[in-house]
Amino acid sequence: MPTYVYHILIPVLCAMAMNGFYYRNNKETPSDIDLLYLPPGYIIGIIWTILFALLGYVHFLLYRLNNKSNYASVSVVFFILFSLAYPVVQAIDEYYAYLFNVLALIVSFVVGLLVISTSKSIFLYMIPLLGWVSYVNVVVLYNILQTVQE
C-alpha cells in the first residue's frame, strides 16, 4: 500500500473512533445555547473525518517535501492530536468546548502559517479546515450573542 494511504488512514480512523466516543457519551440534555446554522452532529462528524484525511495528506506532502519531519509537518500532527481531544472536552463541559473552538481557530491559523511558509501549494489543502473552523466560531459567537440578548 502506498505510504500516503497510511498518512490519511490513521487520522481518519482516529477521527472515527473519537466520533464514536462522542456519540456514545453524548448527553441527551438540550444545550443551553441552541446552535442554529450548524448541521446535525453526524454531518459535523463526516466533515471532520474529511478534514482529518486532508490533514493526513498535508502531513504526508510536507514530510515528503524534505524527506524528513519539519516544523510544519509536526504542527499538523499536533493539530490532529489537539482536534482529537474535542469530544473529551465536549463530554466534560459544553462551555469548555466553546473555548476549545476558539483555541482550535487560533491553532489552525498558526499551523496554516507554518504550512504556507513551507509550501504555498500544500497550503491549499488547509483552506477547507480554516474555512470550517472559522465558520463554526462565527456561528457559535452569533448564537451566544443571540442568547445573551434574549
Helix axes 3-25, 41-66, angle to 10 degrees: 150
pLDDT tens digits along 71-113:
999 999 999 999 998 888 877 888 888 899 999 999 999 999 9
Distance CA 62, CA 115 (A): 8
Domain harbouring 78, CATH code: 1.20.1260
The domain tally of the chain equals: 1
Distance CA 76, CA 69 (A): 11
Q: What is the DSSP letter of 28?
A: -
User: CA torsion sign, 38 to 102 to 86 to 94?
Assistant: negative
pLDDT tens digits along 10-64:
999 998 888 777 777 665 544 555 678 888 878 888 999 999 999 999 999 998 9
Residue 142 belongs to what domain range?
Answer: 3-149
